[in-house]
Structure 1
Amino acid sequence: MKIEIRGEQIVLDKERAIYLPNENLLAISDLHLGKAAHFRKAGLAVPNGVSQSDLKRLSQLINHYQPKKLLINGDMFHSDYNTEIDEFASWRSEFKEIDFILVKGNHDKQTEEVYEKLSINVYEPNYQTNHFCFIHNVTHCKSDLYAISGHLHPGISIYSKAKQRLKFPCFYFSDAYSILPAFSAFTGLQLIKPKAQDQLFAITPSKVVKV
């Protein structure tokens, strides 16, 4: 799905990512690496492979769009240092030519040494392009640029023809800001209540659909 915001094209990908052709920039939000390991450490029965699956999807996106920059719009790592961050380090080595940018979110609490070791450029509170201000929590945005945020894990509820209620992650766009879906599959959804002029794009298993 391709849309235009402030005169610039944005590609909405069904893998919960956006691509900005003019910037050659791929952006995701709420990757939450280490969340499964964090829960297992707390004694909860969370299956292995969640982070590996998310990183596999991210690899496919990188190989498809061939971006110069990958931007994670907050909550890259869910908690304190754990084994899944080591797994990310190994995965990161496959994409040395790409600039990794992290806009800090509320869960991003690693030390500066960790980010430097992983070759991640950290921005706080935002990262700006010519038209957009990437920020994790839109309520903290003080820029006149169009804000692209995350944090809320937006979702939409749709009734099917069989009158079944289905929930999907979604992209949300208002006149002033947007909210990206959580990239990680291991997250919940916060249902969005749009205003009349807002735009919602549901992410189904096969495609992005304007609602």
Structure 2
Amino acid sequence: MKITINNQNFVLHPCGAAFWEEKKILLVSDLHLGKVSHFRKHGMAIPEKAVHENFNRLNNILKLFDVETIIFLGDLFHSKINNEWNLFSDWTKTITQQVVLVEGNHDIISKKNYTDLNIQMYSEFIIDDFLLTHHPIERENFFNFCGHIHPGIKLKGPGKQFLTLSCFFRKPNQMIFPAFGEFTGNFYLIPEENDKVYALAKGEIIEITN
């Protein structure tokens, strides 16, 4: 789904990333790499192939768009380094795009690990009148792209059935990105009058109206 914000065009993809057409930037939030391996280490029955799923989805979306820069909106790596860091390091060597990390609260490993991979790191990143952060921030004269919350929405049917979906949650001057990573969970938000919700369905984006 293509949307326009401040005269700029963004393509929202069902995987939870967005492509900024004019800047050739791919925006991704909350991968939480290493979390699957952390769960497996503590005995949770998660298939080993799930470790590779984030990289598969990243590669698939890079094939769709003419991406020059990938900007991760925080929580790229979940916690302490484990074997998924080696997979990430190897993955960065297979791509040609510049990688930027806007630091999140889970990004606690040494910055040297990122600089060794030529990844630029910032506490916040400004492009024209867009403010890119991890935590949601309201700042005058800027539209904020952020993550952290892992937004989701609950849809109720005419009976007692309901459906839960991850979503892009757009406020008048802000859009909160869904978590891209596997097994990250959601925090369910209730849209207000001027909010827009772009839900991630199977293979498509659906705009949810109040």
TM class by shorter-chain length?
Answer: over 0.9
TM-superposed CA distance for 1:163, in Å, is 5.2
Aligned counterparts, 1:23-172, within 5 A: 23-95=23-95, 97-124=96-123, 126-139=124-137, 142=139, 144-160=141-157, 164-172=161-169
CA–CA distance in 1 between the matches of 2:71 and 2:140?
A: 18
Q: Which residue of 1 aligns with 2:201?
A: 204
Contact 2:73-2:132 at 8 Å conserved across structures: yes
Quickly say closer, same or farther: Cα 1:21–1:92, change in 2 above 3 A: same
What letter is aligned with 1:135? T
Whether the 8 Å CA contact 1:33–1:77 is kept in 2: the answer is: yes
Is contact 1:69–1:99 with CA below 8 Å preserved after alignment?
A: yes
Alignment of 1:10-21 (within 5 A): 10-21=10-21
Any stretches of 5+ residues in structure 2 without a counterpart?
A: none
- 1:181-200 residue pairs with structure 2 within 5 A? 181-200=178-197
* Amino acid of the structure 1 residue aligned with 2:98: D
| 2:176 maps to which of 175, 179, 183 | 179
Rounded Cα–Cα distance in structure 1 between residues aligned with 2:50 and 2:118: 23
Work out the CA distance in 2 between the residues paired with 1:163 and 1:44. Answer: 31
1:132-178 Cα offsets, whole Å, 9 max, x none, are: 11100014x54631000100000011134675211000011111211
Call closer, same or farther: CA 1:84–1:173 in 2, change over 3 Å: same
Aligned residues: 208
User: Which amino acid counterpart does residue 147 of structure 2 have in structure 1?
Assistant: G
SS of aligned partner of 2:93? helix
Given that 2:37 and 2:51 are in contact with CA atoms closer than 8 Å, whether structure 1 keeps it comes out as no
Offset, 1:54 = 1.0
TM-score by length of structure 2 reads 0.93
TM-score by length of 1: 0.93
Is this contact kept in 2: 1:36–1:47, CA < 8 A?
no
AA aligned opposite 1:164: Q
